[in-house]
Amino acid sequence: MKFAAIKEHHLYNKAYQKGSRAAGATVTVYILRDYAARRLMRANPQKQTVNRIGIAVSKRIGGACTRNRAKRIIREAYRAIWQEGGLKTGFLVVISARPDIVGKKTADVEKDLRRAFRRLELTPTPKQGDGAAPV
């Protein structure tokens, strides 16, 4: 499944400056409400709102091979969370790799992403009677 990508540089900057941020050991996640989500929903064949995803990996992480591996790991970790239906939609999501991502497995990055999404309240709240433990 191909995700909707953030293609404009100004949207990355807007997410960095105005978005909410949660940092983990391997990734930092920025989210911002996507005001173009309704327009994109009408253009989507399934008529659903989606999150637009941006992955940023700086040269501090390592060479091209290391950076590409980091992007693949982040993409797969996000895909695992998304396929469970565990994310709200209609947001710009920028995931930035941190230097500790080098040598980590997908499961480690997925755990950090889940924790960041919970902190940013991007995961839907469980409904009463869904078998979720009361808080």
CATH number at residue 72: 3.30.230.10
Look at residue 134 in the predicted model and tell me its pLDDT. Answer: 46
Domain assignment of residue 71, yes or no:
yes
Residues 6+ apart with CB under 8 A from 94: 6, 12, 15, 16, 19, 29, 30, 31, 53, 54, 55, 56
Three-class SS state of 66: helix
- Per residue in 22-80, pLDDT (tens digit) is 999 999 999 999 888 777 777 777 777 788 999 999 999 999 999 999 999 999 999 99
Read off the pTM. Answer: 0.85
Residue 88 lies in a domain: yes
- Look at the chain and report how many structural domains it folds into: 1
Q: Look at residue 68 and tell me if it is in a domain.
A: yes
Does a structural domain hold residue 130? Answer: no
Domain limits for position 59? 4-119
Does residue 45 lie in a domain region?
yes
In a domain, 25, yes or no: yes
3-state secondary structure 6-57: CCCHHHHHHHHHHCEEEECCCEEEEEEECCCHHHHHHHCCCCCCCCEEEEEC
Mean pLDDT of 76-86: 90
Question: Is the residue at 109 inside a domain?
Answer: yes
Among residues 117, 122, 89, 99, which one has the least CA distance to residue 22?
Answer: 117
Residue 41 maps to a domain: yes
* Burial group, residue 133, by CB count within 10 angstroms (0-12, 13-18, 19+): exposed
